[in-house]
Amino acid sequence: MAGWHYVADGQPVGPVTAEDIEKRFQDGIIDRDTLVWAEGLPEWRLISQVEAFDALTRKKGPPPIPGTAQPKAPVEPDPLPFPEIGEIASEKKETSEEERNQIRLSNLRMSEPRIPWTRYFARTFDVSVLATVMLTVTFIAAPYINPKLFLAIYTADPRALLVLTLPVVMVLNGIIITAFGNSPGKKLFGIHAVNVQTDRPFTLAENVARELRVWVRGLALGIPLINLFTMVPAFRRVNDGKPTLYDEGVASVRPYSDSPVRRAIGMSLTLLILVAIVASNAIDKQNLERVSRPYSWTNPVTNLKTMIPGGWENESMPGPAGTLYSFTNLKSGVVAFLAVETSAEHTLVSYADALEASLSRTMNFDDWTRYDLPGVWKRTATMKEGNHPAALLLRQMDTSFWRVVYVDQVGTDRNRAVENPELTRALFASVGVK
């Protein structure tokens, strides 16, 4: 009999050959409780009720020992009745729902579907997407919550970040599975983890516990190279039809779709996400390496070039009295602002008084002192909000008044010397002071 059909995820699939049915049975995609039909059958039946598949669903004992009386042939149990599409089969003696569940759970424990690559890509998709989303949200919120955390994330090695965030990602994945019935990666690939102990879905605690077991026993805490000693054995066990050590006797990951197109799309999306993450990390690393070295910067007002010391990232932004040229230290969180105002009516003293009146709304100033650059004066200060240390340096060039303002955005120690001598010399060199 050819042209078999079977039910998967509530929908008929087929036609397929008997060999296809046998392969799907061995791979765990279907089991003895799956409904099948082919031309010649009056109705949908369980595989265990179809004679053509006796070799799959019924275990046979060994042959009799030569020279001994042959034992009576074992009595085969009646096939289990199963709900058909539209009506209930009633040809055989009914079996209780509890007995049916026990048989189903026993079948789940017998073998693990040989789908190691599907499981690997599904897990990679989940970890990559959730870790990226979580780090992005943290990166956006960190400057407003904890500037030190922002700097630590911005300058950290991506591999170290993944190791640190992985347990949170696993817990979050367990919550998602409980809330939506599956993880994004497993849903994409058409697989799900089923409970082999009871006929009910996993609870929140059980889902989180399983994810943490995967983190420890499957991923070795996410530590590079070390995790090969756990991932490779797990891969081999699944490839041999055995459950992983973290799932043994507890869970079984089984497919509910055997579509090769679905798997191909899932693998392609996972690879695209990985390529995008690697490319983004490479760009960030390149930018950090660039600003970690001294570089040439041209003052847009004077067109004079100067060498900015390593570790200071620059950008331009609008200010209340013109353009501000900011230089941020990515490790300390100190930012320096270079700005200029032109006035033929002011002397250095009158301009300093006017500047103090303007900035005193946000800063508390100490007295002026001479700096060790010609004509440059300095005042230390403290920000009124947050008690962050600051410093103001001022120099008159004809009718132009150049100032450099330092602010420590992270620290609160007012005794800290927030001004950076090397950067200060570079900035004033861009206006002609040496």
Give 267-301 pLDDT, tens digit per residue.
999 999 999 999 988 888 887 787 788 999 999 99
Whole-prediction pTM value?
Answer: 0.61
Q: What is the mean pLDDT of residues 372-386?
A: 91
Q: Residue 95 corresponds to which amino acid? A: T
Examine the pLDDT at 38 and tell me if it is beyond 80.
yes
- Residue 391 CA to residue 409 CA, distance in Å, equals 12
Specify which residues 136 forms β-bridges with.
none
Q: What is the mean pLDDT of residues 198-203?
A: 88
Given this model, what pLDDT does residue 10 score?
A: 67
Q: Using 50, 70 and 90 to split pLDDT, how confident is the model at 85?
A: very low
- Structure tokens of 112? 């693990």
- CB-CB contact of 221 with 215 (8 Å): yes
Q: What is the mean pLDDT of residues 323-338?
A: 90
Q: Residue 42 corresponds to which amino acid? A: P
Q: Using 50, 70 and 90 to split pLDDT, how confident is the model at 386?
A: confident
Examine the pLDDT at 224 and tell me if it is beyond 80.
yes
Examine the pLDDT at 95 and tell me if it is beyond 90.
no
Examine the pLDDT at 325 and tell me if it is beyond 50.
yes
Q: What is the mean pLDDT of residues 344-360?
A: 90
- Residue 57 CA to residue 82 CA, distance in Å, equals 15
Examine the pLDDT at 87 and tell me if it is beyond 50.
no
- Residue 56 CA to residue 58 CA, distance in Å, equals 6
Given this model, what pLDDT does residue 4 score?
A: 84
Examine the pLDDT at 37 and tell me if it is beyond 50.
yes
Given this model, what pLDDT does residue 63 score?
A: 55
Task: Identify the CATH number of the domain defined by range 295-429.
Answer: 3.40.1000.10
Which range of 71-75, 150-154, 379-383 scores highest in mean pLDDT? It is 379-383
Which range of 123-127, 307-311, 342-346 scores highest in mean pLDDT? It is 123-127
Given this model, what pLDDT does residue 79 score?
A: 45
- CATH 3.40.1000.10 domain position(s) in the chain: 295-429
Helix axes 158-180, 204-213, angle to 10 degrees: 150
Examine the pLDDT at 78 and tell me if it is beyond 50.
no
Q: Which has the higher per-residue pLDDT, 409 or 189? A: 189
Q: Using 50, 70 and 90 to split pLDDT, how confident is the model at 395?
A: very high
Q: Using 50, 70 and 90 to split pLDDT, how confident is the model at 65?
A: low
**Spacing of C-alpha 391 from chain mean position:** 41
**Spacing of C-alpha 229 from chain mean position:** 22
Give 228-265 pLDDT, tens digit per residue.
999 999 999 999 989 999 999 899 999 988 888 999 99
Q: Using 50, 70 and 90 to split pLDDT, how confident is the model at 97?
A: low
Backbone phi, psi, residue 82, to 5°:
-145, 140
**Spacing of C-alpha 157 from chain mean position:** 15
Q: Using 50, 70 and 90 to split pLDDT, how confident is the model at 76?
A: very low
Given this model, what pLDDT does residue 98 score?
A: 57
Share of the chain above pLDDT 70, in %: 86
**Mean of the per-residue pLDDT values of the chain:** 84
- Structure tokens of 279? 């490319």
Give 122-158 pLDDT, tens digit per residue.
999 999 999 999 988 888 887 777 777 777 777 778 8
∠ CA(207), CA(209), CA(213), 5° rounding? 115
Q: What is the mean pLDDT of residues 213-233?
A: 94
> Considering only 90-94, 181-185, 379-383, which range has the smallest mean pLDDT?
90-94
Specify which residues 251 forms β-bridges with.
195
- CB-CB contact of 163 with 221 (8 Å): yes
Cβ partners under 8 Å of residue 216, min gap 6: 246
- Residue 189 CA to residue 150 CA, distance in Å, equals 35
What element of type H or E holds 106?
helix 97-110
Output Rg (C-alpha) for the chain, integer angstroms.
Answer: 35
Share of the chain above pLDDT 90, in %: 48
Annotate 210-246 with b (16+ C-beta within 10 A) or e (fewer): bbebbbebbbbebeeeeeeebbeebbebbeeeebbeb
Q: Using 50, 70 and 90 to split pLDDT, how confident is the model at 309?
A: very high
Which range of 16-25, 52-61, 217-226 scores highest in mean pLDDT? It is 217-226
